[in-house]
């Protein structure tokens, strides 16, 4: 009887802890999502009165050239950045997981970029791209670096890829190191007996055993890069000529100050569905790969 009462008190404590968190989550996450979905059927400008326009915002969304351009840029950016970050992170993780001196200190150094905020990093690199690199390029006679990378429509997106990748590599490297440390030494010893070494050792032994960590990194990378905002705000503000305007930045800029709150709410809801769909597809593909191995 006392035991049942103790269990009941324990469950009541857990419930009291959980309820405030659920209320906060509902107020700051679920409720804004529901209100945004409601506004997506209106011509709300962000202020004043509004009327319901049914599905007009969603129809206009698929006919808007600026929206289409922002989706193309965002997907291109996310795909290139995801591949670049995961390749470099895996290489770094393999190096930092080897028997080298000072690897703990090196791990800490590599993790520093992840501690800094996206806006802070963006403003630092904005100064670097605008003043430092052009000055060095002119002094060295390198024409490609004599002007700011952020000033050209063909180079601005690449500059953003560099900044975002530099900051994201840290976390991915840590996750890959965690995965590499779960690989038993017995596997490598058995592989050595069979004459497996070099690239074949990595591809046949190491990579199959860290597939779950690879899956996590791929999903998180793609999601985060699709939602890129801070670096766009700090570096280009969508320019030049809207060539680096990501979906998140377009939703914020036109929704908050452009009088398109209802229209961009529809854009945000469609974007939310796209991100969820891509994440589910990624998880299914990597999940099948894990089952095959």
Mean model confidence pLDDT for the chain: 88
Share above pLDDT 70 across residues of the chain, in percent, rounded to a whole number: 95
Of residues 117 and 227, the one with the higher pLDDT is: 227
Sign, CA torsion 91/92/98/101: positive
**DSSP string of 221-279?**
HHHHHHT--HHHHHHTTT-STTTT--HHHHHHHHHHSSS-HHHHHHHHHHHHHHHHHHH
Look at residue 3 and tell me if it is in a domain.
no
- The pTM for the full model equals 0.87
pLDDT band (50, 70, 90) for residue 184: confident
Of residues 79 and 143, the one with the higher pLDDT is: 79
- Whether residue 275 is predicted with pLDDT greater than 90 in this model: the reply is yes
In the chain, alpha helices (H): 2-25, 31-39, 56-61, 65-96, 103-115, 118-127, 133-140, 156-180, 185-193, 198-201, 207-209, 211-226, 230-235, 247-256, 261-292
Helix crossing, 31-39 with 261-292: angle to 10°?
A: 120
- Whether residue 6 is predicted with pLDDT greater than 70 in this model: the reply is no
Whole-number pLDDT of residue 291: 67
Task: Tell me the mean pLDDT in the region 63-81.
Answer: 95
Kindly report the CATH number assigned to the domain that includes residue 138: 1.10.3720.10
Look at residue 175 and tell me if it is in a domain.
yes
Task: Tell me the mean pLDDT in the region 3-18.
Answer: 73
Range of the domain at 173: 39-292
Whole-number pLDDT of residue 1: 47
What's the domain count of the chain?
1
- Whether residue 73 is predicted with pLDDT greater than 70 in this model: the reply is yes
Whole-number pLDDT of residue 11: 82
pLDDT band (50, 70, 90) for residue 15: confident
Look at residue 14 and tell me if it is in a domain.
no
Look at residue 15 and tell me if it is in a domain.
no
Look at residue 273 and tell me if it is in a domain.
yes
Whole-number pLDDT of residue 292: 65
How far is Cα 230 from Cα 220, in angstroms, rounded to an integer? 17
Look at residue 184 and tell me if it is in a domain.
yes
- Whether residue 187 is predicted with pLDDT greater than 60 in this model: the reply is yes
Whole-number pLDDT of residue 249: 95
Range in 36-50, 103-117, 133-147, 204-218 with the lowest mean pLDDT = 103-117
Task: Tell me the mean pLDDT in the region 2-9.
Answer: 57
């Amino acid at each position: 009887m006392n035991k049942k009462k103790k269990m009941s008190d324990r469950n009541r404590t857990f419930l009291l802890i959980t309820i405030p968190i659920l209320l906060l989550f509902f107020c700051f996450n679920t409720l804004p999502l529901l209100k945004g979905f409601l506004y997506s059927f209106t011509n709300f400008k962000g202020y004043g009165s509004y009327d319901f326009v049914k599905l007009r915002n969603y129809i206009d969304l698929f006919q808007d050239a600026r929206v289409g351009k922002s989706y193309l840029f965002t997907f291109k950016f996310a795909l290139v950045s995801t591949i670049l970050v995961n390749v470099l992170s895996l290489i770094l993780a393999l190096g930092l997981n080897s028997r080298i001196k000072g690897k703990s200190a090196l791990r800490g150094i590599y993790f520093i970029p992840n501690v800094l905020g996206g806006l802070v990093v963006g403003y630092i690199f904005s100064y670097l791209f605008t003043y430092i690199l052009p000055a060095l390029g002119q002094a060295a006679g390198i024409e490609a670096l004599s002007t700011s990378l952020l000033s050209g429509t063909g180079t601005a997106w690449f500059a953003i890829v560099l900044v975002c990748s530099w900051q994201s590599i840290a976390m991915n490297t840590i996750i890959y190191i965690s995965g590499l440390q779960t690989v038993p030494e017995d596997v490598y010893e058995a592989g050595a007996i069979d004459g497996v070494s070099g690239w074949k050792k990595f591809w046949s032994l190491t990579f199959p055993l860290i597939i779950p960590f690879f899956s996590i990194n791929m999903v998180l990378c793609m999601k985060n890069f699709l939602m890129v905002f801070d670096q766009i705000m700090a570096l280009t503000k969508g320019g030049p000529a809207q060539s680096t305007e990501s979906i998140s930045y377009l939703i914020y800029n036109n929704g908050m100050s452009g009088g398109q709150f209802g229209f961009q709410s529809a854009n945000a809801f469609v974007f939310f569905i796209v991100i969820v769909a891509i994440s589910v597809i990624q998880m299914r593909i990597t999940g099948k790969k894990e089952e095959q191995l």
